[in-house]
Every structure is written in structure tokens, then in C-alpha cells.
Copies of this chain bind each other. A is one copy, B any other.
Amino acid sequence: MVKYADRMEKMEGSAIRELLKLTAKPEIISFAGGMPAPELFPTEQMEQAANKVMEESGQKAMQYSTTEGWPRLREQIAERMGAKNHIETDADHILVTSGSQQGLDYSGRLFLNKGDIVLCESPSYLGALNAFKTNEPEFIEVPTDEDGLIPEELEKILAREDRVRMIYVIPDFQNPTGRTWPLERRHAFMDIINKYEIPVIEDNPYGELRYEGEYLPALKSLDTKGLVIFLGTFSKILAPGYRLGWICADDEILANYNKLAQAAALQASTISQMETAAWIDMFDLDAHVAEIRKVYGHRRQVMLDTMEKTFPAGVKWTHPDGGLFLWVTLPENLKAQDVYMKSLEKNVAFVPGDTFFPNGGVYNCFRMNYSCMPDDKIIEGITALADVIKSCL
């Protein structure tokens, strides 16, 4: 009989990926995914970049390249991290991955033995939780409030538990809540981290997509002991179809990520890397991101305004300053899963929130994405959803 490894008992198909299949019907108004708006992809420019690569270095583009990543792309990433995240780094401290998900997977495998403890915000990104689960860790959820992770609660846990091997956080426009940590919290967090010396995975897929307020320094930019590992991605600022993300970490840690990458996948696609690097050199990523921010920022506002007008009393939701998601909290006695089933009958989809809590137990929340639907669909979908919620109360 075929016998699977123990880790497979904990693995479920990603609820979101399964759900996205259900919601692929064209009549569905989906607030479920976290996809970028495809109408903003620079397809014609990318075709030009692809032609340039194939004509000037087609043989290199189709060949194996190094595990570390395409040199020009690593330079561009390092420069951008300096400009956007105030992280002083260089190409030697960047490892290109096949999307940020791969960076999450490598992170779990690098730090977690079976039974080790990983800390995360409560709730947290379920794709990361799933990646970590392959190592059979225990999760402890760090309590959060409207300003994200609560440093005092983190310290309580670290003072009590000596099996914590990794802390996973999304300080900017968190998935699923849309919350952002204020500057004081970042400093307080780093003080605690420096005291306990636990590696931190700072997942930052949305940091450039700010629609209001001031940009805040990345944890990695405040890191004096080399404890923070920064994960970035092109999926939300350019396109996810190339599967390109990156890991920025200090020497020894990055060398260990590199060993895992060699064993797990050799390298990210050479052609994806060279085309992306060529596009960045030929066109204007800043202008492109500005366009994305304008569109998503507007859609966020339409969603917030429509919720304000239509959602019944007793329902609360976050007001994110950026990113792709907001988080709705229903009255305690209402289950998001029940609302979801009824909502789907009205052709409106979202993600029930229970899967974002690794230890479960919270059933009255759900995640909404606003980047992928045009204004009229947002208004129509939110209005229908408001009716469904009212009918459940």
C-alpha cells in the first residue's frame, strides 16, 4: 500500500484556490481572489521587452541560469528596495524565487522542525500557513488590534515559550485584514525581536500599493542584527504570471535559502527574469505602480462607500490605507460560512475568514478583495451582499 508522509495529514487543498475554481463562472461577482486587475497589465510593452530579449540574448534566455537569479534583475530589485523600502542592500543579498509563495515555503523548511512553534498574526495569510504546515509545526497566533500585531502580546508569548523558531508577519496592508502597523509598533516589535533573537519573515507583497498616508519603513530597514528576512514579489506591482518574487536576507541566512532552492527547484525561470529585467530597463515601473494605485485606490473607496451606505448596523469592516483586501466582522452569532452560501446563490463571492486562523475558532469574519472588479460590479455586489447579510440577521 502507498503510504504518504505524515505531513500530508495536515495538508488541505488551499481553500482559496478551490474556491476560485467555483467562482470562475462569468456571472459571479468575485471579491474572493487576490488577483491583480488584468486590464492594467502592460501586455504590449512586455511583448516589446520579450522581443528584445529573444533577439539579443535568446540562447541565454532559454538556458539554465544560476540559482541566485538573473544578475540584472537582482540589481534592479536591490535598487528598488533601497528606493521604496529604505533597505540598504545589494544584488548579492537577493535570491530570486518563483513567486513569493516559494519564499514562504523555503522559510518554513529552513527554520521549522516538526513540533516547533511558529508565530503569526491572528488572523494571517492562509497561503503562508499552508506552506509552513508541510513542516508540521505548532502555530501560536499573536493577538492583534486595529494597528496590527500587539507587541506586548508578542513579548508575553516569547517570555513563556522557548520553542519559537520563526515569526511570520505582514506589517503593510496585511492579508487578510488590510491593517498596517504604525511606526511605534515597528520599533517596539524590533526591540523584542532583538532581545529574543528569533528570525522574522517580513512578507511584503503589497507595500508599494499605498492609497493614503505616509510610507512606513520596512522592518528589514530597522533590522540591526540580521534577523529579518524580507519577501518581495512582482506579482502585485507588475504581473503574477511570470512567477517572480525575491528573498532579501543577510549572508548566512541567504546562503541557507540558496541551498534549499538548489534542492527544491534549481532556479526561477530564466526567460521570466530576463523579460522582467528588460521591461524595467525599457519602461517605467514607478509610473505603472502609480496607475495601479490610482485604480485600486478608487475601487477601495467605491467598496467602502457602498458598504457604508448598505451594510446593516452591527457589521464592522477595516479601512485599509493600501493593498488589496479589507476584513469584515459580522455580529458574533452570524457565521460567515452561512452568509457565503447564500451570497453565492446571488452570484457574489468572498472568502470566509475561519481559514485565516491557523488554530480556528473564529467564524464571524470574511475577507473582501477590491482590486479586480470594476465600479459597477462592486456597487452591485456589495449591495446584494448587504441584502444577504440583512436576511441572515
Contacts and interface: CB of A to CB of B under 8 A. Distances in A.
Interface of A: 1-8, 11-14, 17, 21, 33, 35-36, 38-39, 41, 43-44, 46-47, 50-51, 54-55, 58-67, 98-99, 101-102, 105, 109-114, 116, 127, 130-131, 133-135, 165, 197-199, 227, 235, 239-243, 252-253, 255-256, 258-260, 262-272, 275
A256 to B, nearest CB: 6
Nearest to A267: B243
A130 to B, nearest CB: 4
B2 A227 contact: yes
B243 A17 contact: no
Given A109-B134, A131-B263, 17 more contacts: A2-B198, A2-B199, A4-B111, A5-B109, A8-B256, A8-B259, A8-B260, A14-B263, A43-B54, A43-B59, A50-B54, A60-B241, A105-B265, A127-B263, A242-B269, A243-B265, A264-B264
Contact of A66 (B21, B62, B131, B240): B21
A264 B5 contact: no
B272 A269 contact: yes
A17 B262 contact: yes
A59 to B, nearest CB: 4
B134 A264 contact: yes
Q: Which of A14, A33, A44 is packed against the most chain B CB atoms within 10 Å?
A: A14
13 contacts: A3-B111, A5-B111, A11-B259, A33-B64, A38-B60, A38-B63, A41-B63, A43-B59, A47-B55, A62-B242, A240-B270, A269-B269, A271-B275
For the complex of A and B, the 7 pairs showing the least CB-CB separation, nearest first, are A43-B58, A241-B270, A62-B239, A38-B59, A47-B54, A62-B241, A41-B62
Nearest to A52: B47
B38 A101 contact: no
A122 to B, nearest CB: 20
Nearest to A196: B1
Given A2-B227, A43-B54, A131 B60 contact: no
Contacts of A134: 109, 260, 263-264
A170 to B, nearest CB: 17
A347 to B, nearest CB: 21
A264 B131 contact: yes
Contacts of A109: 5, 7, 134
Contacts of A99: 265-266
A347 B38 CA distance: 50
Contacts of A114: 114
A67 B266 CA distance: 19
A17 to B, nearest CB: 5
A39 B63 CA distance: 10
Contact of A5 (B62, B130, B135): B135
B253 A2 contact: yes
Contacts of A259: 8, 11-13
A78 to B, nearest CB: 20
Contacts of A266: 17, 99, 101, 127, 243
Contact of A67 (B12, B17, B39, B65): B17
